[in-house]
C-alpha cells in the first residue's frame, strides 16, 4: 500500500507541485488548504507524514501541528515555509514541534530526500 502524505498549504501552486512530485515518486497524496481541512483528513485517513506551511489562512501552522500530534501521537511533520528561521530557533524551538524544518527556497530534490527519510516507500 502506498504511503499517505498530507500537504497543508494555503497556496495552491505549492500544493500542486508537491503533490505531482510525490505522486510520481509513488506516494498517495491528500491536499488541504486550511487547518480545519487538515484535521478532518487526519481523523478520516491518518497520514504517514504531514507537510505543513507555517502561515495558514485560518490558523497558525505550529498550533495546527500541535493539535494534529495530540490527535495522532508520533505523526511525523515537516515544516515547509517561506518564513526563514535562524538555526538557533530551529534547534531550540522548532525541533520540539516538528521533525524537519525546511525553507521553501530549498531545492525540491532535497525536500524529496527528507520526505523519503521520514516516510520511506
Q: Any idea what DSSP says for residue 7?
A: E
Residue with Cβ nearer another protein (69 or 85): 85
- Taking the complex as a whole, the smallest distance from the CB of residue 2 to another protein amounts, in Å, to 18
Pairing of strands 100-103, 49-52: unpaired
- Taking the complex as a whole, the smallest distance from the CB of residue 70 to another protein amounts, in Å, to 29
Contacts of 13 (CB under 8 A, 6+ apart): none
Residue with Cβ nearer another protein (21 or 72): 21
Residue with Cβ nearer another protein (42 or 79): 79
How far apart, in whole angstroms, are the C-alpha atoms of residue 83 and residue 32?
20
- Taking the complex as a whole, the smallest distance from the CB of residue 102 to another protein amounts, in Å, to 10
Q: Which residues pair with 77 in a beta bridge?
A: 50
The radius of gyration of the chain from alpha carbons, rounded to an integer in Å, stands at: 13
Cell (9 digits) for 117? 527519510
| Other beta carbons less than 10 A from residue 99's beta carbon | 16
- Taking the complex as a whole, the smallest distance from the CB of residue 14 to another protein amounts, in Å, to 6
Residue with Cβ nearer another protein (73 or 107): 107
Contacts with another protein, residue ranges (CB under 8 A): 11, 13-14, 17, 20-21, 24, 82-83, 103-109
Amino acid at each position: 500500500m502506498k504511503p499517505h502524505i498530507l500537504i497543508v498549504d494555503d497556496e495552491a501552486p505549492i500544493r500542486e507541485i508537491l503533490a505531482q512530485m510525490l505522486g510520481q515518486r509513488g506516494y498517495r497524496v491528500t491536499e488541504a488548504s486550511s487547518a480545519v481541512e487538515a484535521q478532518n483528513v487526519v481523523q478520516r485517513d491518518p497520514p504517514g507524514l504531514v507537510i505543513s506551511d507555517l502561515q495558514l489562512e485560518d490558523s497558525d501552522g505550529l498550533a495546527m501541528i500541535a493539535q494534529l500530534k495530540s490527535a495522532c501521537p508520533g505523526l511525523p511533520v515537516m515544516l515547509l515555509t517561506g518564513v526563514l528561521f535562524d538555526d538557533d530557533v530551529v534547534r531550540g524551538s522548532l525541533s520540539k514541534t516538528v521533525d524537519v524544518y525546511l525553507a521553501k527556497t530549498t531545492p525540491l530534490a532535497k525536500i524529496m530526500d527528507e520526505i523519503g527519510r521520514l516516510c520511506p516507500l
